[in-house]
Structure 1
Amino acid sequence: MKNRHQGATGVILANGPSALNYKCNNQRLIHIGVNASPLLEEKCNVVLDYYVLSDRRFLQNPEKRKIALSMLDRKTTCVLREELSYDLETFEDNVYFVKAIGRDGFSKNLAKGFYFGCTTTMLALQLAYYLGLRKIYLVGVDLLYRPEQPRFYHETNVEPHDPFTSVQIWNFSNAYLTLKELGVELYLCSYESLVRPYIPYKEISQIQ
């Protein structure tokens, strides 16, 4: 998959409540979803090109497991953390596994592994670079985890967020600085996000 979309523009659909504000008006964009992002496809007028998953707890939750295993378009390419292969009975030809090589950092070569950064969105970012994207928009990266609505979708049993927000912020900031040096533009499209001081902000309507 290296440089498969050289020079293209992409959108990473994370799971914060602000993701509900996204509406795709450009079908040439590359869309990468994480965790429950398949639930956004109809509302946001998008079919995910790629789907990534790194948190084992997502597959261990029966309600969420259905999202990952039965709601994706068969053409969507899946990139999963290597350990998740033990939680799957079968997998298709378009499912790839990548090993975690550490918590903090940014991998420029996904074939050698990725840094998980305590958020699945970090795998999506490293995939975006590996695919050759040169402009990346982060949608739904809020990091607020409000009790009344921690994520954009309803959870019967709310998954508690890990107490690693500072780790997530560091990794997003480091990803921005790394990508900037590599000539890749990274923008944040969540006005209230805790990572906004570290990544340039763009309104969702400015995605192009």
Structure 2
Amino acid sequence: MKQMPFVEAKPVADKKLALFAPVPAPWRSSAHPLYLNDFAACRNVESGAVFIIASGLSAKSFPLEKFAHVPMITMNGSISMFMNTDIKPSFYACTDRSFSKQQPDLFNYAMAVSQRVALWEDHAQSSHARPTGQLYPLSKAPKPSWIDVALGRSKELVTDHPLIAFRKRSIGFSKDMSQGFFDARTVAYLAIQLAFHVGFSKVFLVGVDLDEKSGRFYETKDSINSPCGLDQHYYTRILPSFELMSKKVIGDDFMVYNLSDISKIPASVIPRISVAQVEAMLHQ
């Protein structure tokens, strides 16, 4: 992707915030400037297939290196699957501000090897690790008003019925991350929105089990584990978000497939396929 020139710098918490600039700083030092990129700079820069590597137990059986030639998006501690490989994630996403303290080695590794990183700006500012790739600050998408919907505004923010007022935040899907993303209470859903934004058209989900009882494959009983709210939010936010995506976003130009045979997402919402079927699709 063509590098964007430096256009602005302003003091932020004794550092300089440079917009649209590449990151020159060593990844382990917070003494260096933190540079933020606008999401518009990476819109539609990719194409074709992408794997999204999540943290469900089923991810452990996925032959990651077999598909090293295919771009990958990963998140949180799922980056551990990339250790001892030459694979550099196309995007790394983390919405858990405490993750860098709970799993510092994994977070630092993600900052060191990922081509692009999506974090909350305050998390990026407070972290001692600086990404060697491009950093994109996350923001939540606003809920479009019924007037916006009626007049055809905010077409890139696909939402549920605009007149449903009982939700604090609407269920939705962002096709343009510069307008923010919709939080479904699972970072895997953010990763799918990232995939759409950068231009991928065929998404393969790995480890999107959404089974709270099974836990995350990289956590152990001796590690500091992040709280999990999958069961709490499954029927109120997670499943409705995937259902909306299935009905209003997925189509001939954007397909999503689930490689987890133990996923809680119904096959009627996201079709399931095997690794062998993925291989066949990639060779078409």
TM-score with structure 1 setting the length: 0.86
The answer as to whether partners of 1:31 and 1:50 remain within 8 angstroms in 2 is yes
Q: Does 1:84 align with 2:153?
A: no
Q: Which residue of 2 aligns with 1:195?
A: 265
- Choose from 11, 19, 22 the match for 2:51: 11
The answer as to whether partners of 2:43 and 2:197 remain within 8 angstroms in 1 is yes
The Cα of 1:85 is off from its aligned counterpart by: 2.9
Q: For residues 260 and 114 of structure 2, what CA distance do their matches in structure 1 show?
A: 29
Q: Answer with 163-172 or 119-128: which moved more.
A: 163-172
Q: Does 1:180 align with 2:250?
A: yes
- Choose from 74, 77, 81 the match for 1:33: 74
The Cα of 1:204 is off from its aligned counterpart by: 2.7
Q: Output one character per residue of 1:86-109: Cα deviation in whole Å (capped at 9) or x when no partner.
A: 432463461111211255210011
3-state SS of paired residue (2:189): helix
The runs of 5 or more residues in structure 1 that have no matched partner are: none
Rg comparison, structure with higher value:
2
The answer as to whether partners of 1:20 and 1:44 remain within 8 angstroms in 2 is no
Paired amino acid for 1:13: I
Q: For residues 211 and 84 of structure 2, what CA distance do their matches in structure 1 show?
A: 22
Q: For residues 54 and 111 of structure 2, what CA distance do their matches in structure 1 show?
A: 15
The Cα of 1:195 is off from its aligned counterpart by: 0.4
> Do the aligned partners of residues 180 and 94 (structure 1) sit closer, same or farther apart at CA in structure 2, a change above 3 Å counting?
same
Runs of 4 or more, structure 1, over 6 Å off, are: none
Q: Relative contact order (alpha carbons < 8 A, sep ≥ 6): 1 or 2 greater? A: 1
The Cα of 1:46 is off from its aligned counterpart by: 3.7
Q: For residues 90 and 44 of structure 1, what CA distance do their matches in structure 2 show?
A: 21
Q: Does 1:107 align with 2:174?
A: yes
Q: For residues 132 and 194 of structure 1, what CA distance do their matches in structure 2 show?
A: 27
The answer as to whether partners of 1:138 and 1:188 remain within 8 angstroms in 2 is yes
The Cα of 1:28 is off from its aligned counterpart by: 3.1
Q: Which residue of 2 aligns with 1:134?
A: 201
The Cα of 1:83 is off from its aligned counterpart by: 4.2
Identity of aligned residues (%): 24
Q: For residues 157 and 73 of structure 1, what CA distance do their matches in structure 2 show?
A: 22
The answer as to whether partners of 2:78 and 2:218 remain within 8 angstroms in 1 is no
Q: Answer with 50-59 or 116-125: which moved more.
A: 50-59
Q: Which residue of 2 aligns with 1:164?
A: 233
What is the root-mean-square deviation in Å for CA atoms of aligned residues? 2.3
The runs of 5 or more residues in structure 2 that have no matched partner are: 1-41, 143-168
The answer as to whether partners of 1:36 and 1:67 remain within 8 angstroms in 2 is yes
The Cα of 1:187 is off from its aligned counterpart by: 0.3
Q: Output one character per residue of 1:21-65: Cα deviation in whole Å (capped at 9) or x when no partner.
A: 11132333110001012100147874322101112232342xx13
Q: For residues 114 and 184 of structure 2, what CA distance do their matches in structure 1 show?
A: 28
The answer as to whether partners of 1:3 and 1:132 remain within 8 angstroms in 2 is yes
Q: Does 1:122 align with 2:122?
A: no
Q: For residues 35 and 186 of structure 1, what CA distance do their matches in structure 2 show?
A: 21
